[in-house]
Amino acid sequence: MKKIIATMMCILMAVSALFMGCRRENYDPNLITIGFAEAGYGRKWLEDAIEDFQDIHPDVRFELEGDPLITHNIQNRLETNTEVRDIFFGLRFETHKWAAMGWLEQLDDLYETEIENGVTVSERLEDYMVGYGKYVTREGEHQYLLPWNSGASGIFYNAKMFREKGWEVPETYDELVALCDEIVADEVNDDANLNNDISPFSWGGTITSYWDFLVQTWWIQLIGTDAYREFMKFESPEVYNPTSPTMAALLEATEAFENLIVKKPQNSVPACASKDHISMQMDFINGRSAMVVCGAWLENEMRANIPEDFEMKLMPTPYLENARKDNNGEYIPVNYTVAGDYAIIPKAAKNKALAKEFLVFMLREEQLQKYLLTTGSPRPFEFTMPDISSLSSCTQGIINIINNSVNVCEITNNQLAIVGRANVWALGDIYRKLLTGTDPNYTAKTYFNEAYTFVKNEWDSWLVQAGMK
Amino acid sequence: MRNIMKFKLNQKQRNNIFIFLMLLWPVIHFIIFWVYINIDTIALTFQRFDVFSGEYVFYGLENYRSMIKNLQGYPSKTLQYALLNSFLFFPFNAVLLLPISIICAYILYKKVPGYAVFRIIFFLPSIISMVVLTMVFKFSFDSTIGFINPILRALGIEKIIPANGWFASVNTAFPMILLYCLWAGIGYNVVLVTGAMARVPIEIIESTRLDGIGFFRELWSMHLPLISSTLGTLFILSITSVFTVFLQPMLLTGGLPDDRTYTIPYLVNEQVKGGYLTTAATLGVSFSIVGVPFVMGIRYLIAKYMPTYEY
């Protein structure tokens, strides 16, 4: 009996070893494998691009792996060299480590490849994305990521409710404050029925960082993109000095938020601090709040739950009084893009050349237009706008905001930022502290002063952690 | 033929080979997934990730120094709260959850009227995904779509509804997590305890009834001693929850308010998700250094005072 069991064990182990050895698939020079985050944008954009690519290259086959959570699995796959695809389309993540570990293919040659009519990838890339995914590693300074999506963020409003109530979309901060007062004073809020109450905003205590879409936009309205990029270099602890012009502007933007939301609880749906993004968005589409701060994905994310007659739109972020103006005396519109999704080619990919060819193909004018029409979101590359009348009014509005604004993406290749030490909010999410904190005397000013002291104390330690000292 | 005979193994050798083969796989598994991983984790606590070279380099005791600063409340009290909350789960499980589970299990065991309905009520949360369950639980207390607040208003006790909601107010956020754990945790314990009670020999039960033992006396004097080994196991499991509870606070409060509902496992999880592996490793190793003697001590006491009865 023991002999039989022992023999079976040996066979089992041998078969296991055999299968482990056979896991590596045969190399097929005409196969491109793609893993992608199948989230709000679906998969049709990719299937369409593949179909068009195959019209030119009928011999090329594709294998797709759509997974909403693939972003969090990419690192393991790269590290263990298992299930590595030729291309990964992932959502915003700390990708520098992948490059530093030598897991990513350098894309410098891809950026210099001609797409069509003599235009290269780097020439087609939108200015605000220049430098994105360009990392310094032991391999030198190279491009490792290709931007995937762009977008917009800010205040979404219930357009139908605004029409019915006669509320105007505010253009300035003061008008926004006045609008909130008007909403609070609306007759539906006077009766005993709590179920028909309308508050100006709903938000979620677990995702207070969404307020960055508003506050950072206000900040960039005040300082401009050059100063914003300068700040993101984190050159010394003095960048956090609350009396420096850049930080003073951030404080001004934060205090505008503080005065609008923190100090006026009537401007929010009751007990928003206990809500998450789902209940926050439910309040918005159920008409319990007139506005919500979110990113361009909102409509796609809520599509299954949106009532038929519901109409939402993204408003251009109202201007603070001291926002910068152009030569004509007009305020300069700013869009905080929340871009950061990417395409990468792993170093261990089998068909790197073909993968690069496909990525370049996807940047053709016609492909960029198709992508926009399919997903409702543009890629951060320059192309002629197609007719967007077939898209929802919300998406049309978003595209107009992107086209008519100075777009900004939070890009920094500073090592202190890469190791997770330096960022805009040195002491963590300020909104969380202001909105859900337990100290009633804690203000934005307190945070800024504490943050400056903290950074000054920790700066040397940060430099050591980042390998800069 | 004689040469072949030379290689013939005797019974002892054959037994040794058999034992070796049987142990080989689990030992390899143990070496890779326990020994190596733990040594690697401990090594990580003395390292930092170098962004240039892409390697982990020696960093001395800096990770520990940084953690001690955090323990002292600098720059925030998050770690202090996390430590306190994690250890609070032990008395919660031992003093509240387990006794309630025993009572519920006993009610089901005695087949009181409606026991079948209770069984479903108790056990249902154990078979539903925690993500769904926390969502349902959270929505119940939501200020706009929940049904709890309207009931409280109807009862005229709306004053107890916290201004920041149930999951972000200092006085209610952590108790809400405990309430959820109580609601969702009873079912699992009840199944084990009723199973243990059902194994008590009928002869013993009948003899105690002939002695005229009462309802609660039967539980206290007969069942509890006889199922003490099962209770000991549940007690140990309740201690391990100190090291494992992270999904509940993550899904219910997200650490709110002011990071007061963090637990150590949740904090470690956040560090790992953020890519701060060395910080997470330092926290995990330090917590284990404190926690392992605690668990071993409790195990020793349980083995001493809650013996296994053969019947």
Give me B142's structure tokens. Answer: 């939501």
**Minimal CA separation from A41 to chain B, in Å:** 24
Bridge partners of B58?
Answer: B47
Q: Give the whole-angstrom CA distance, residue A230 versus residue A249.
A: 14
Q: What is the CATH number that goes with domain A153-336+413-465?
A: 3.40.190.10
**Minimal CA separation from B19 to chain A, in Å:** 9
* Cβ atoms of residues B94 and B238 within 8 Å: yes
Domain covering A24-151+338-402 assigned CATH 3.40.190.10 in the classification: yes
Mean pLDDT of B25-41: 94
Q: Give the whole-angstrom CA distance, residue B141 versus residue B173.
A: 12
Put simply, the answer to whether B21 touches A9 (Cβ < 8 Å) is yes
Q: Give the whole-angstrom CA distance, residue B277 versus residue B47.
A: 10
Residue that has been written with the tokens 């103006």 in this structure: A325
**Minimal CA separation from B195 to chain A, in Å:** 34
| Closest in B66, B144, B256 to A288, CB measured | B144
| DSSP label at residue A376 | S
Rounded to 10 deg, the angle between the A245-257 and A444-465 helix axes is 130
Q: Answer whether A205 touches B (CB < 8 Å).
A: yes
Query: Parallel, antiparallel, or unpaired: how do β-strands A114-116 and A119-120 relate?
Result: antiparallel
B chain contacts of residue A270, beta-carbon cutoff 8 Å:
143-144, 163, 165
pLDDT for residue A24: 53
Q: Give the whole-angstrom CA distance, residue A236 versus residue A455.
A: 9
- B35-48 pLDDT, tens digit per residue, is 999 999 999 999 99
Mean pLDDT of A189-209: 91
Q: Give the whole-angstrom CA distance, residue A129 versus residue A399.
A: 17
Mean pLDDT of A29-33: 94
Give the CA distances from residue B285 to residues B38, B63, B243, B281, in Å, rounded to whole numbers and listed in that order.
9, 11, 12, 6
* Cβ atoms of residues A144 and A413 within 8 Å: no
Buried b (16+ CB within 10 A) or exposed e, A393-411: ebbebbbebbeebebbbbb
- A236-248 pLDDT, tens digit per residue, is 999 999 999 999 9
Query: Parallel, antiparallel, or unpaired: how do β-strands A87-90 and A31-36 relate?
Result: parallel
**Minimal CA separation from B2 to chain A, in Å:** 22
Put simply, the answer to whether A467 touches B14 (Cβ < 8 Å) is no
pLDDT for residue B299: 86
| Closest in A136, A273, A415 to B165, CB measured | A273
Domain limits, chain A: 24-151+338-402, 153-336+413-465
When pLDDT is cut at 50, 70 and 90, the band that residue A412 belongs to is: confident
pLDDT for residue A123: 97
Domain limits, chain B: 84-305
**Minimal CA separation from A292 to chain B, in Å:** 15
When pLDDT is cut at 50, 70 and 90, the band that residue A2 belongs to is: low
Q: Quote the percentage of chain A above a pLDDT of 90.
A: 75
Q: Mention every residue, 6+ apart, whose C-beta is less than 8 A from residue A303.
A: none
Residues 94-123 of A with CB under 8 A from B: 94, 96-97, 99-102
Q: Please give the order of strands across the beta sheet that includes A31-36.
A: A61-66, A31-36, A87-90, A342-344, A146-147
pLDDT for residue A22: 52
pLDDT for residue A199: 97
Query: Is there a common fold for A24-151+338-402 and A153-336+413-465?
Result: yes
Q: Give the whole-angstrom CA distance, residue B188 versus residue A69.
A: 30
Q: What is the CATH number that goes with domain B84-305?
A: 1.10.3720.10
| Coil/strand/helix, residue A325 | strand
B chain contacts of residue A96, beta-carbon cutoff 8 Å:
51
When pLDDT is cut at 50, 70 and 90, the band that residue B4 belongs to is: low
Mean pLDDT of A138-165: 95
- A293-327 pLDDT, tens digit per residue, is 999 888 888 888 899 889 999 999 999 999 999 99
A chain contacts of residue B135, beta-carbon cutoff 8 Å:
278
Q: Which helix (H) or strand (E) holds B117?
A: helix B115-127
Instruction: Inform me whether the pLDDT recorded for B123 exceeds 90.
Output: no
Instruction: Inform me whether the pLDDT recorded for B1 exceeds 70.
Output: no
Rounded to 10 deg, the angle between the B98-109 and B115-127 helix axes is 140
Put simply, the answer to whether A137 touches B51 (Cβ < 8 Å) is yes
pLDDT for residue A3: 67
Mutate which of A141, A201, A266, A274 to test chain B, going by most B C-beta atoms within 10 A? A274
Q: Give the whole-angstrom CA distance, residue A71 versus residue A341.
A: 10
Q: Answer whether A432 touches B (CB < 8 Å).
A: yes
Over chain B, what is the mean pLDDT? 90
pLDDT for residue A339: 86
Residue of B nearest to A455 (CA): B75
Mean pLDDT of A464-469: 85
When pLDDT is cut at 50, 70 and 90, the band that residue A17 belongs to is: low
Mutate which of B19, B37, B135, B143 to test chain A, going by most A C-beta atoms within 10 A? B143
pLDDT for residue A299: 87
pLDDT for residue A42: 84
| Closest in A10, A273, A465 to B164, CB measured | A273
Q: Give the whole-angstrom CA distance, residue A326 versus residue A296.
A: 26
Mean pLDDT of B225-242: 88
Q: Give the whole-angstrom CA distance, residue A264 versus residue A363.
A: 47
* Cβ atoms of residues B191 and B123 within 8 Å: yes
Q: Give the whole-angstrom CA distance, residue A199 versus residue B133.
A: 28
Q: Nearest CA to A142 among A93, A104, A86, A87?
A: A104
* Cβ atoms of residues A245 and A227 within 8 Å: yes
| Closest in A10, A273, A465 to B168, CB measured | A273
Put simply, the answer to whether B18 touches A2 (Cβ < 8 Å) is yes
Residue of B nearest to A450 (CA): B75
Put simply, the answer to whether B52 touches A137 (Cβ < 8 Å) is yes
Q: Answer whether A463 touches B (CB < 8 Å).
A: no
Residue that has been written with the tokens 């005396």 in this structure: A329
Q: Nearest CA to A276 among B198, B28, B256, B112?
A: B256
Q: Quote the percentage of chain B above a pLDDT of 90.
A: 56
Q: Which helix (H) or strand (E) holds A451?
A: helix A444-465
Out of A157-171, B158-172, B184-198, least confident range: B184-198
Q: Give the whole-angstrom CA distance, residue B40 versus residue B33.
A: 10
More confident residue, A188 or A362: A362
Give the CA distances from residue A206 to residues A120, A390, B220, B298, in Å, rounded to whole numbers and listed in that order.
42, 35, 45, 36
A chain contacts of residue B145, beta-carbon cutoff 8 Å:
279, 282, 286
| Closest in B135, B168, B275 to A420, CB measured | B275
Half-sphere exposure of B283 (CA within 13 A, CB side): 24
A chain contacts of residue B52, beta-carbon cutoff 8 Å:
100, 136-138, 467
* Cβ atoms of residues A321 and A174 within 8 Å: yes
Over chain A, what is the mean pLDDT? 92
Instruction: Inform me whether the pLDDT recorded for A270 exceeds 80.
Output: yes
Radius of gyration in angstroms for the set of CA atoms belonging to chain A, rounded to a whole number: 25
Which amino acid would we find at residue B224?
A: L
- B53-70 pLDDT, tens digit per residue, is 888 999 999 999 999 999
Mutate which of A189, A277, A436 to test chain B, going by most B C-beta atoms within 10 A? A436
A chain contacts of residue B258, beta-carbon cutoff 8 Å:
433, 436-439
Residues 403-422 of A with CB under 8 A from B: 415, 418-420
Give me B75's structure tokens. Answer: 């720059």
CA dihedral B71, B75, B76, B78 (to 10 degrees): -50
**Minimal CA separation from A468 to chain B, in Å:** 10
Out of A58-62, A303-307, B155-159, B278-282, least confident range: A303-307
* List of long-range contacts for B60-65, beta carbons under 8 Å, 24+ apart: B62/A461, B62/A464, B62/A465, B63/B278, B63/B279, B63/B281, B63/B282, B64/B282, B64/B286
B chain contacts of residue A438, beta-carbon cutoff 8 Å:
170, 257-258, 260
Which amino acid would we find at residue B160?
A: I
**Minimal CA separation from A394 to chain B, in Å:** 25
When pLDDT is cut at 50, 70 and 90, the band that residue B3 belongs to is: low
* Cβ atoms of residues A85 and A65 within 8 Å: yes
Put simply, the answer to whether A464 touches B62 (Cβ < 8 Å) is yes
End-to-end CA distance of chain A: 66
Q: Mention every residue, 6+ apart, whose C-beta is less than 8 A from residue A433.
A: A427, A442, A447, B258
Give me A139's structure tokens. Answer: 């391999």
* Cβ atoms of residues A425 and A451 within 8 Å: yes
**Minimal CA separation from B141 to chain A, in Å:** 9
Q: Mention every residue, 6+ apart, whose C-beta is less than 8 A from residue B45.
A: B63, B64, B278, B281, B282, B285
Residue of B nearest to A72 (CA): B273
Out of A56-70, A189-203, A300-314, B109-123, least confident range: B109-123
Residue of A nearest to B139 (CA): A279
**What is the DSSP code string of B165-219?**
-TTSSTTTHHHHHHHHHHHHHHHHHHHHHHHHHHTS-HHHHHHHHHTT--HHHII
| Closest in B25, B49, B258 to A437, CB measured | B258
Mutate which of B137, B164, B247 to test chain A, going by most A C-beta atoms within 10 A? B164
Give me A340's structure tokens. Answer: 């950061």
A chain contacts of residue B154, beta-carbon cutoff 8 Å:
none
Whole-model pTM: value is: 0.88
pLDDT for residue A10: 65
Q: Answer whether A438 touches B (CB < 8 Å).
A: yes
A chain contacts of residue B257, beta-carbon cutoff 8 Å:
205, 273, 436-438
| DSSP label at residue A380 | S
B chain contacts of residue A450, beta-carbon cutoff 8 Å:
75
Put simply, the answer to whether A274 touches B165 (Cβ < 8 Å) is yes
Q: Answer whether A287 touches B (CB < 8 Å).
A: no
Residue of A nearest to B69 (CA): A458
